[in-house]
Structure 1
Amino acid sequence: MKRKYILPLFLVFQIVFLKFLVYFPEFVEKWYSNGLYVYISKISRTLLGKIPFSVGDLIYTIAILYAIYWLIMNRKTGWKNISLNVLSCISVLYFAFHFLWAFNYYRVPLFEKMQISREYTDEDLLDFTKKLIVKTNQIQLKITNDKTKKVTNPYTQNQVFEMTQNGYNHLAKQHPFFGYSIPSQKKSLLSLPLTYMGFGGYLNPFTNEAQVNDKLPMYGFPNVVCHEMAHQIGFGSESECNFIGFLAGIKNDDLYFQYSAYANALRYCLGSIAAKDEKLFEQLKLKVHPGIIENYRESEAFWKQYDTFIDKAFHAFYDQYLKSNQQEDGIDSYSKFVDLLINYDKTKAAF
């Protein structure tokens, strides 16, 4: 067999292998997520965590520029050779992607790991949302002393990065598998492209850096950081990371972190109710402090100014990406953490 076919065939083998791996979540949980990955992630964050800029973003930028250069320089070598070289490159990256982080997509779901029910009733959703409204109102009022004022986070983004550890430390005392060490949170060098794509942040699977969009409204910034850190400790599901990020936020001693988490969860719960009963949504909305609504409007106004065909295209792409990686609801899986919240609260009393 010619050597140029080896890596493309290895790509096919990897795809087939993953089709089988989905049936062995306990194996992945034990040997990868709680085994090999623990060492990989700590080594990555130890090597790169203290570097003040995003190494992963720099690598991506160089790689994209080099790919364009390579295609231009090799455009006359024939489509067969170009295709084989591209497939070989994809094969290597696909292997690195899974080996360094993405096997976590195949671990035991958090529902099973924490023995949380998957189902909830409309009444459960309503009761939990009312509870969230009361709690979010309380914190908003504590911070502003005025129901009508939006919350303005006084911290710098670097201060937020440092303060997130507090919440994870408290959370790990209750659930040790959420323990986080060796910080590596970065402001993304690609924040403007991320904004146009409609993303608040992402985990770089090759460098294990938590990349956060530095253009985000600051009231929600802590919640995004907590979410990306959840990816770093080995959770691939977006709904699970929303859930873990929420817990890390409300466990934080700082009120601004708590507000960021509660306000985000409340927005999702209200959205779930609005999708089922618009009239009930309007009634509940009247109970939410105007200052909280102003924060929501601030966020909506921010994203609206970058609303183009680009974010729609990337969301469509990301939707398919999630579906191909064990998240059958695609982009809607972000909102599925409401399931986890409600059922966790019923059994563990989240707050």
Structure 2
Amino acid sequence: MNYYRIPLHEKLHIEKEYTEEELVAFTEKMITKTNALQQQITGNDSTAVKVPYSDEEVFAMAQNGYAKLPKSLQEFHYENESIKPSLLRYLLSYMGFGGYLNPFTNEAQVNTLKPNFTLPMTTCHEMGHQVGIGSESECNFIGFVAATHNDDLYFQYSAYSIITRYCLANLEQMEEGKGKAYFEKLNKGVIKNYEEHEAFWDGYHTPIDTFFEFFYDNFLKANQQEGIISYSRFVGLAIGYSKVDSVQ
């Protein structure tokens, strides 16, 4: 039923479409934030970020960001803690999934095998499903806002580094090679995290994840969503939201 809720961009009265100029400006802003956080955390520009917390600590800390959501997003306040590492994390990795919501218990199940710099953002994303958001792009968006409003630097880095990857990918979709010049502006430590992320998924790539990607893509489309591509649509929500409210 949550797939059929009023779209978030309509409730917030923001645009989800953007121009090339707006994407470029937003990408540069996200690169600056990502680089600054990486250097602040590691003390140099060449070391990859590693989150020093246990999975359980990340799950508990993620609630702090939801408690500090802007007024316009207060309806998504997170109240009942119910999130855990998935027992099926190896299967999820082969399927290409970072987590899922158990529809029978409303528990968020997180794939904790992924590179741990992604764990804070992934956790906030799955919590978005728990508070009633069905759309993947909207969960990415609410997860991004929650993580960037968290006082913890690792949560902020997780969110900014992930949205920066999406921004670069969206630039490439607009024009092949367009993202390269912006990718080269990233600190070496950030690039190492991206390489770690790519190596992880490459290690689990099999025909199984191709099948489940096809299956889930069609499942989303059957529920009036845009399919797998909808994950990257949250960049448009973030750009639109940045015009009416501050994105840290």
Quote how far apart the aligned CAs of 1:272 are: 0.5
Query: Paired residue for 1:314, among 198, 212, 220?
Result: 212
Quote how far apart the aligned CAs of 1:162 are: 0.7
What fraction of aligned residue pairs are identical, expressed as a percent? 54
Q: Deviations over 1:104-155 (max 9, x none)?
A: 1111100111111132100000000000011111101100111111101100
Distance 1:174 1:145, change over 3 A: farther
Quote how far apart the aligned CAs of 1:275 are: 1.9
What is the rounded CA distance, in whole Å, between the counterparts of 2:117 and 2:38 in structure 1? Answer: 11
| 8 Å contact from structure 1 (residues 172, 179) kept in 2 | no
User: What pairs up with 1:128-147 in 2 under 5 angstroms?
Assistant: 128-147=26-45
- Whether 1:182 aligns to 2:100 is no
| 8 Å contact from structure 2 (residues 12, 72) kept in 1 | no
Query: Paired residue for 2:120, among 178, 198, 222?
Result: 222
| 8 Å contact from structure 2 (residues 100, 110) kept in 1 | yes
What is the rounded CA distance, in whole Å, between the counterparts of 1:217 and 1:312 in structure 2? Answer: 21
Shift >3 Å, 4+ stretches: none
Aligned with 2:108: secondary structure? strand
Aligned with 2:232: secondary structure? helix
What is the rounded CA distance, in whole Å, between the counterparts of 2:54 and 2:189 in structure 1? Answer: 21
Which residue of structure 2 aligns with residue 269 of structure 1? 167
Which residue of structure 2 aligns with residue 155 of structure 1? 53
Quote how far apart the aligned CAs of 1:347 are: 2.1
| 8 Å contact from structure 2 (residues 124, 144) kept in 1 | yes
Q: Deviations over 1:148-170 (max 9, x none)?
A: 11101100111101100110001
| 8 Å contact from structure 2 (residues 16, 239) kept in 1 | no
Calculate the TM-score normalised by the size of structure 2.
0.98
Aligned residue identity for 1:300: E
What is the rounded CA distance, in whole Å, between the counterparts of 1:113 and 1:326 in structure 2? Answer: 18
Quote how far apart the aligned CAs of 1:174 are: 5.3
Which residue of structure 2 aligns with residue 246 of structure 1? 144
What is the rounded CA distance, in whole Å, between the counterparts of 1:150 and 1:183 in structure 2? Answer: 30
Aligned residue identity for 1:331: I
The more displaced of 171-180 and 296-305 is 171-180
Quote how far apart the aligned CAs of 1:173 are: 4.8
Aligned residue identity for 1:223: M
User: What pairs up with 1:75-154 in 2 under 5 angstroms?
Assistant: 103-154=1-52
| 8 Å contact from structure 2 (residues 97, 111) kept in 1 | yes
Which residue of structure 1 aligns with residue 69 of structure 2? 171
Which residue of structure 1 aligns with residue 232 of structure 2? 335
RMSD: 1.0
Q: Which gives a bigger RCO, structure 1 or 2 (Cα 8 Å, sep 6+)? A: 2
The more displaced of 300-309 and 271-280 is 271-280
What is the rounded CA distance, in whole Å, between the counterparts of 2:205 and 2:73 in structure 1? Answer: 39
Quote how far apart the aligned CAs of 1:286 are: 1.4
What is the rounded CA distance, in whole Å, between the counterparts of 1:244 and 1:215 in structure 2? Answer: 23
Quote how far apart the aligned CAs of 1:280 are: 2.9
What is the rounded CA distance, in whole Å, between the counterparts of 2:17 and 2:115 in structure 1? Answer: 33
What is the rounded CA distance, in whole Å, between the counterparts of 2:231 and 2:71 in structure 1? Answer: 26
Structure with greater proportional helix content: 1
Which residue of structure 1 aligns with residue 246 of structure 2? 349
Q: Deviations over 1:314-346 (max 9, x none)?
A: 00000000001120x211110111110111112
* Bigger radius of gyration: 1
| 8 Å contact from structure 1 (residues 149, 290) kept in 2 | yes
What is the rounded CA distance, in whole Å, between the counterparts of 1:172 and 1:118 in structure 2? Answer: 19
Count residues with an aligned counterpart: 248
Aligned with 1:120: secondary structure? coil
Aligned residue identity for 1:128: F
Aligned residue identity for 2:84: K
Quote how far apart the aligned CAs of 1:172 are: 5.4
Aligned with 2:243: secondary structure? helix
- Whether 1:207 aligns to 2:93 is no
What is the rounded CA distance, in whole Å, between the counterparts of 2:79 and 2:104 in structure 1? Answer: 18
Unaligned runs of 5+ in 1: 1-102
